[in-house]
Amino acid sequence: MIIPPRKRLGPLLLIAPAAILLCVFLVLPYLNIVVMSFRMPGQGTPYGPGFTLGNYGKFFSDFFYVQQVINTLWIGFLTTFLCLILGYPVAWQLARGASTFRALGYALVLSPLLVGIVIRSYGWTILLGNNGIINRTLTGWGLIDGPLPLMYNALGIIIALVHVFLPFMILPIMSAIQGIDPSLEAAARSLGASKVTSFRRITLPLSLPGIQAGCILVFVLSLSAYVTPSLIGGLRVKTMAVTVVDALIDTFQWPFGSALALMLSVTGAIFVVIFGRLTVMKWKA
């Protein structure tokens, strides 16, 4: 069938505003970063004349940076995993629990997003610091002798990231569970499955699309998080995002910073694709 030109134009016009916005403010800057990553380092200027592969060479030759990518990925994995473990029961409760508490629960889930990211991260430093509330209380009760190392390490960063990103895990899973017909669980029960088995064989696999979306969101957000790791990790633990900003702003190495940023994006993307492949759902199509 031949579609008249006007009909073809309609959908294009509808997506045009978003497409233009993305193109000008995302795709073009991104391309600029790609180009920048191949430029020569400058002397007193952000970059010098000519092009080189040296920025990438520097990344791969210095294990420090590779190690940082691995650390960042680990923080991403653990944050995602903890969000999933903590978030799934909440999502299930919000989707299937009594309606009385649903509005309240919903508000509580969203509450971390209502506080500015800087304030929230400072809040965690108050709680987690060596002189923070947790350590002082535990010392005061005589449960510990010295402060526990809760801050300036990966643990602190993960705690704070899990707090911020939990809603991004809960909301997609909740909506996936809400989309599952409760009579499917009833059918499983009628066929002889216990509540646990019917959850494992029916509800859990059917909520996989939500789990997938939530995990990808949280993982990507964790990799690119900047404010929380820089405030809670301090100078000791640096994630890639922090190092990239250091390179761009503190040491003024735009080409190298761009190469670092791209390496982070590429490794992140590779893991997202692998994850997508592993959780492919044949029954959906």
Q: In this structure, which amino acid lies at residue 109?
A: V
Interface pick for other proteins out of 186, 269, 270, 273 (rule CB under 8 A): 186
Distance, CA of 191 to CA of 206 (rounded, Å):
18
Binding of residue 281 to other proteins (CB under 8 A) = yes
Residue 194 binding other proteins, by CB under 8 A: yes
16 binds other proteins (CB under 8 A): no
Number of residues that bind other proteins (CB under 8 A): 19
In the set 44, 192, 235, 280, which binds other proteins (CB under 8 A)?
Answer: 192
Return the residue of 193, 213, 227, 245 that touches other proteins, per CB under 8 A.
193
202 binds other proteins (CB under 8 A): yes
Of the candidate spans 25-33, 49-57, 158-166, 180-188, the one that interacts with other proteins by CB under 8 A turns out to be 180-188
Which of these, 252, 215, 229, 208, lies nearest to 152 by C-alpha position?
Answer: 229
Rule CB under 8 A: choose which of 45, 61, 130, 190 binds other proteins: 190
The distance from CA 145 to its chain's CA centroid, rounded to whole angstroms, is 35
Position 206 contacts other proteins (CB under 8 A): yes
| CB 176, min distance to other proteins, A | 12
Alpha-helical segments (H) within the chain: 5-22, 28-36, 54-61, 63-96, 102-114, 117-128, 133-140, 154-178, 182-190, 195-198, 204-206, 208-224, 227-233, 240-245, 254-278
Question: Among 43, 145, 250, 283, which residue interacts with other proteins (rule: CB under 8 A)?
Answer: 283
CB within 8 Å of 76: residues ≥ 6 apart: 219, 222, 223, 268, 271
The reply to whether 179 sits near other proteins by the rule CB under 8 A is no
Residues binding other proteins (CB under 8 A): 181, 183-184, 186-194, 197, 201-202, 205-206, 281, 283
